[in-house]
Structure 1
């Protein structure tokens, strides 16, 4: 508890450091600075330029995250191709992301390569992560279990807190903003790299009175008319040292905290949940020979949730320790082979004692990347041995062909799996329900094809895919005597098409996209829960002198909140119009205004839970 209080105090104190730095003379940017390629590591577990990456990949850069206003992580991700979200009444509540229609438990979330999916439920503590303290987010769509193991059936979301390692001068940023529902947010960060050292630190504090999270549809044991506010703090950072060329050590960390109100019936006014998310990595990168790079890393993540509700107090927590040794062998200029050895130690605890609280996974994987003139190949295979569950082998094969310097055709196939959670396996007998220790891992087979065009001012892409899921876990199967447990009874097929286009007309940027999804439950022919079949996106931004104006529109089709797609649980489609504007007062200081949900659209992403109406946020940001 003391550690949490100290971390929150440090985050809040760091947020007000800009007042001290304003007294310093700003550093002028260097003239004729060369624009560096965006380097990503997630798609092949090795550093490579974004324009050389194979597969369906998106990178959300630091500028977009720092300029997100009061938007939550899930709200930012919802604007990306192939991603849909749900939340239970605001940024402080339980949220989930559907990546290409795969459930939140079937998509792996990492922080600097360290997995943070809660191994009790498979969920992610999005409420504890503030986007303004993140350097970038790398998103892989399509099964990536052959790279990262369990949970990566729909793809991978890797949250990066560490800037690139290239030399750069000291830079800093800060912001303070106010908005609707008595929202207040402030943050500060700095980074740099020189004399073989690189470093970064970012902190934020936010509070809000919130809005009413529930409506009468949620039921009498949940619905309450009061507003549900929250307090959030976040602290991230990194430190690295290169003691010889090709020999370096790096440390990264993320610590997030959220105290959020939720509803637990009209007679209970002080119900809340406290969410904590920690993630740490320590790595050593060593160029053993000219053709052999060794990356030895240790990761630690801890997730905690403590709630006070009408049914009493509940505490759950999970710990994961990840040990990895990756060896990258450069066979020649165009061929790289990687050998990965990995060990994962998982532990779970909670108010209800599980019958088993620990398991280990040992894994070995091979990754190959080759470039042959216009032909590009990436292949991977991985074998996981999970204690008390057994062995699982997955693989992937991708091929890209350059039709021209600007036009690329790609095809890929991959398999994936998800190990059952501790709750699925080891919940003790209570009220007629008991976990099933004999559950098998869920499995998937994904195929896709893509066509991409990229020129100076224009980008176009088309991706089609099919992902078939088998041995899906139905968490509540009951016999004639109403004895219930989890079983591998379900299966599903998700087919989709994603279109993206953008073009720069002088000072005006237009972007448009559309996702078409057929998420079918093969056991009953119905649409999978909370997945929309159509999502449309449109945005425009225009620069004039020191100002920038922008607008975005997103339409999400109807969904159902139950497996049988009953009319009573239908969630209507909705369209959201957002506006934003900024003005550059000088080279360091910028004013920003965001008007979200301009038309005050009433909509639900989960049955019985409200979403925020029309809201405004004013922000003052500075850079140096």
Structure 2
């Protein structure tokens, strides 16, 4: 009898407890807990509480708690006789294994998916003026650099066919469908998710080439950061960031850049010149705050950017006095409600204001144009987890509404209203995952008495196969489109050009496939292929009076192969991106699409306490030749540029100091990305970053 009683006392009927944030003391929802020796895995609720209902638990167990954004924790000899309190330490970690861009379900990114995540190494910019150069680490990314203005495109698409988001809110506007990356400071970017391939099934108009989602930092840990830097050709910059998680999560940051950009170059006659009127001054601020109310979380984010710069024009027709002023204000209010293991409801209301003033008092070409654009939007997304046996089903459904109003001295006062709904599913079974999605969008464009309304239906389906390990396979088919811009529709007749209000959207059918290999926890290799067929391509053509106007006449076929190796080890690593593509329209190649281009980096590091204390890197990027006009009668030569960089960490008690230095274009190569817009030769930078 005594033996039986002892066994009863040694066995528990279950385990209860709470998991809290070590710094704030608040409950941490959706922590994954697993008891050693059991197959059961449980999640904490929205208040951080959990209950393991297994009967016959031993008196003492070993528990492992895991959640993104926190250090994993293993607790030994946990008594099951009383409730347990577990404290998790938050950490800011790269979550390159999760994508919120390629899918609205925020799933783990399959190694074979055409998705890249570019992580920020801090708030220093390492000699760069904007983030466009960082994005070239991903395959199929082409940068167009006009000295102090840069744009990005994906997979042979145009800049207008590439959608850019900031924290999930689109930056492209209907004025020209372009995003100027010189308005985005690298110091205020946490990471950039690049989802290559058509994505109109999730985002509507414009992502024929893909989507770039710029994600700002979150207040996940207490931090005080500041950076200061100097560079060649009159470059000076500084940045700061303050963050404090708590009852109210708070983050405030900003950056300043002043770049004279007065570098030497050679003109068409090989004469030595100094670049003039290519200066750039930029100031930006970001503010984020959020608080949890039980199952609800309220958030607010705002960013402001102001720039003043010259507009030098091409060296074949320079402009010494043209100036360009830009301003952008973005406000985002968010509401999230957790629904236990069932799902999550998210709502976002946003408003964006853009201002641009171009002034050119030139002798031969005079301009004084002002553009003001107001964009307001609302999106509502419901995510559901349907746990079934043997398959696991997840659903996302959403509604979105956008209004755009433009006041322009060039195109008048056009407006566009967009209403859309989408649904996405993720069905997983036995190593196979099917990911279908579709979206219907209704758009109406107005300019005075002219009204155009049309609908767009955009389906997409992806298939993933995650066996045999460590291989994974991806196959996707999509249908995407781009809407005509206000400039294309309503540009006034100036004797040389005029718009065409009868334009229709461009449509593209795309197929892509990929193979991924997980070589180690931090190393992988991916190869992908893609094919895009674009119809009703908008091109500017002269009419019978030799006035150029846009028309839907062209077709294009784009094929390519992407290679993305990444090998990261304890003290050295190699990562790269290489793309081979052919972009043809009828019998000619599309301008500014080189057949081969890529970027790579080799780094060596001295590690201490699992962190890089000294890091040396050698970077290389280049392209083959590319045509600069539709008839293919003129070309830009290819180039190969090498960069050297170093990072030294100097931790002292509660302060972490970091010194970044380097030399860019170490062989002083003269090259251009856009015809008659030369880029700087050899340059140096030195910056310091301090974290408390």
TM-score above 0.5: yes
Q: Please point out which of 452, 469, 477 is paired with 1:405.
A: 469
How far 1:374 sits from its partner (Å)?
0.4
Alignment partners' CA distance in 2, 1:318 and 1:432: 26
1:366 and 2:423 matched: yes
For the Cα contact (< 8 Å) 2:126–2:685, is it kept in 1? no
1:304-323 correspondence runs (5 A) = 304-309=355-360, 310=362, 311-323=366-378
Question: Following the alignment from structure 1 to structure 2, what is the Cα–Cα distance between the partners of residues 560 and 64?
Answer: 37
1:101 counterpart residue number: 156
Equivalence for 1:116:
171
Aligned residue among 302, 308, 311 for 1:262? 311
CA distance in 2, matches of 1:557, 1:383: 40
**Partner in structure 2 of residue 60 of structure 1:** 118
Q: Secondary structure at the match of 2:488?
A: helix
Alignment partner, residue 61 of structure 2: none
Partner of 2:649: 584
Tell me the distance in 2 between the aligned counterparts of 1:123 and 1:253. 21
1:137 to 192, 200, 210: 192
Deviation at 1:96, TM superposition (A): 2.0
Question: Separation in 1 of the partners of 2:319 and 2:428?
Answer: 62
Q: Which residue of 2 aligns with 1:272?
A: 323
- 1:233-279 residue CA offsets vs partner (Å, 9 max, x unmatched): 1112311111113x111112221222111226989643221122222
For 1:157, the equivalent position in structure 2 comes to 212
Match of residue 530 from structure 1: 592
Could you tell me how far apart the structure 1 residues matched to 2:375 and 2:268 are? Answer: 37
**Please, what TM-score do these two structures have when normalized by structure 2?**
0.79
Q: Helix, strand or coil for the counterpart of 1:76?
A: helix
**In the TM superposition, what is the alpha-carbon distance from 1:405 to its structure 2 partner?**
3.3
Q: Give the 3-state SS of the residue equivalent to 1:429 in structure 2.
A: coil
Shift, 1:193, TM fit: 2.2
TM-score, length of structure 1 as denominator length: 0.87
User: Does residue 572 of the first structure (1) align with residue 637 of the second (2)?
Assistant: yes
Residue matched to 1:239: 289
Gaps of 5+ in 1: 1-28
| Deviations, residues 564-586 of structure 1 (Å, cap 9, x unaligned) | 111xx311100110000122222
Q: What are the equivalent positions in structure 2 for 1:210-249 lying under 5 Å apart? A: 210-211=261-262, 216=267, 226=276, 228-245=278-295, 247-249=296-298
Q: Give per-residue Cα distances to partners, 1:101-140, cap 9 Å, x unaligned.
A: 1111001011111111131111112111101111221111
Do the aligned partners of 1:212 and 1:228 also contact (CA within 8 Å) in 2? no
Change (3 A) 1:398 1:279: same
Change (3 A) 1:598 1:243: same
The residue aligned with 1:78 is 136
Q: Deviations over 1:449-477 (max 9, x none)?
A: 10001122431000001011110111x22
Aligned residues of 1:316 and 1:351 also touching (Cα < 8 A): yes
Contact 1:261–1:273 (8 Å) recurs in 2: yes
> Aligned partners of 1:502, 1:187: CA distance in 2, in Å?
30
Quick one: structure 1 residues 463 and 31, their matched pair in 2 at CA, closer, same or farther if it must change by over 3 Å? closer
Give the length in aligned residue pairs: 577
- 1:364-443 pair list within 5 angstroms: 364-387=421-444, 388-431=452-495, 433-443=497-507
**Alignment pair present for 1:562 and 2:632:** no
Aligned pair 1:172/2:230, yes or no?
A: no
Q: Following the alignment from structure 2 to structure 1, what is the Cα–Cα distance between the partners of residues 130 and 548?
A: 37
1:437/1:553 CA distance change after superposition, 3 Å: same
Query: Mean alpha-carbon deviation: is it higher for 496-505 or for 612-621?
Result: 496-505
| Alignment correspondent of 1:343 | 401
Distance 1:357 1:589, change over 3 A: same
- Does the alignment pair 1:500 with 2:568? no
- Is the 2:393–2:426 contact (alpha carbons within 8 Å) kept by the matching residues of 1? yes
Pick the structure with more helix per residue. Answer: 1
> Do residues 200 (structure 1) and 265 (structure 2) align?
no
C-alpha displacement of 1:80:
2.0
Tell me by how many angstroms 1:359 deviates: 1.5
Q: Is the 8 A contact 2:278 2:311 kept in 1?
A: yes
Higher-Rg structure is 2
Distance 1:30 1:40, change over 3 A: closer
Q: Deviations over 1:342-385 (max 9, x none)?
A: 1110112212243x511211111111112212011111100111
Asked if 2 retains the 8 angstrom alpha-carbon contact of 1:292 and 1:329, the reply is yes
* Alpha-carbon shift at residue 403 of structure 1 (Å): 2.0
CA distance 1:427–1:227, change in 2 (3 Å): closer
Shift of 1:515: 0.8
CA distance in 2, matches of 1:441, 1:187: 41
- Map 1:427-466; keep pairs closer than 5 Å: 427-431=491-495, 433-454=497-518, 455-466=520-531
Do the aligned partners of residues 392 and 623 (structure 1) sit closer, same or farther apart at CA in structure 2, a change above 3 Å counting? same
Q: In angstroms, what is the RMSD of aligned CA positions? A: 2.5
Contact 1:116 / 1:279 at 8 angstroms: preserved in 2?
Answer: no
Provide the residue aligned with 1:252 in structure 2: 301
Structure scoring higher RCO (CA < 8 A, sep ≥ 6) equals: 1
CA distance in 2 between partners of 1:399 and 1:234 (Å): 41
In the TM superposition, residue 78 of structure 1 has moved relative to its aligned partner by 2.2
